[in-house]
Amino acid sequence: MKNKMILSWLIAILITFGAAIYQRTTGPTYPKITKVEIKDTVYKLKLIRSFGGTNDADINLDIPNKSVNASLYYRKYPTKDEWKSTDFVRESNKLVAKLPNQPPAGKLEYYIDFEYDKKNLQIFNNNPIIIRFKGDVPSFALIPHIFFMFFAMLISTLAGFLVIFKHPKYRLYGNIAFFLLVAGGMILGPVVQKYAFGEFWTGIPFGWDLTDNKTLIAFSAWIIAFFVNLKKEKPVFVLVASIVLLLIYSIPHSMFGSELNHETGGVTQGFIYSVFYLF
C-alpha cells in the first residue's frame, strides 16, 4: 500500500504541474512572444495581452537600436472604430508606448508599425493582438484562490489514482479535494472575479463565461462524488470527478472569458459577444 501511495503522489504531482503550465502558457491572456528582424538583427518581443489596475498599459519593446522608431495602433475590441495611434518613446534600450486604460473586462486590439531607414514594417496588422483589462485583485484574495485551486487539482488527481490502485484512502483525499475546490473555486473564485471584472459570477445561469462554467462543471462532478461516498464507498464517482477536473484544467485559462459589451456597458462572455457583433 505504501508503494502505491508514493507512486500515486508522484504521478499526481507530475500531471498537476504539467497541466498548470499548459493552462497558463496557452491561455489568451498569456503574453504573446514573437520575433522581428530589423536591419539584420532579430529581436524577441513580449507583448502583453492582460493588464490589471487603473494605469495605462505599457507596451515595451526591447530594441536597443536607436535608429528604429515605432508607432502603436489600437482600437476597442470588438468594434469597427477607426484606428488610433501613438508613438513609442525611447527609454534607454527600450521603446515604450501606452494603451489607454479600459473598464474591467474591456478589450483593445493593437498592432505595431516599425520605422527604420525610410522603411516600414508592420506586425500583427492582419491579426491584431487583443489585450483585456481588469481591476486590481488584492493579494489576500488572489493568493489563496491560486493556492486552493492548485491543490484541489493535485489532491483530486491523487484521489483518482488511489482509486485506480485500489488504495483505501481514496475517499479521504477525495473529500479533501472537494473542500479545496469549494474554497478556491466557489468561494474565492467569485471574489477574484468581482475585483477583476466587477461581477461575482458570469457563468450559468447568468451568462456563459467559460472559466466560471468550467468551475461549475468540476464542482458538480465533485459534489456528487462527495455525497454518494458519505455512507458507502463508491470509488467510480471519485475517479470520474478527478477525470472531469483534469479535463477542465486542460482548457487554456481565461479562454472565452468575461468581456465588456461596449454598447450596453455590461459584462458578457467574450466569444458570444464577438460573434454577435461581427455578424
Ordered structural domains, the chain, with CATH: 2-27+137-278 (no CATH), 32-134 (2.60.40.10)
Q: Decide: helix, strand or coil at residue 223.
A: helix
What is the pLDDT averaged over residues 221-249? Answer: 93
Better-predicted residue by pLDDT, 213 or 279: 213
Cell numbers standing for residue 110 = 493593437
Q: What is the pLDDT of residue 39?
A: 86
52 pLDDT exceeds 50?
Answer: yes
Residues 250 and 261: their CA atoms lie apart, in Å, by 28
Q: Is there a contact between 198 and 104 (Cβ–Cβ < 8 Å)? A: yes
What is the pLDDT averaged over residues 11-26? Answer: 84
- The sign of the dihedral angle between the CA atoms of 271, 276, 277, 279 is positive
20 pLDDT band (50/70/90 cuts)? confident
pLDDT tens digits, residue range 105-161? 899 999 999 999 888 999 999 999 999 999 889 999 999 999 999 999 999 999 999
* Half-sphere exposure (Cβ direction) of 83: Cα atoms closer than 13 Å: 13
Q: Decide: helix, strand or coil at residue 110.
A: strand
What is the pLDDT averaged over residues 256-269? Answer: 68
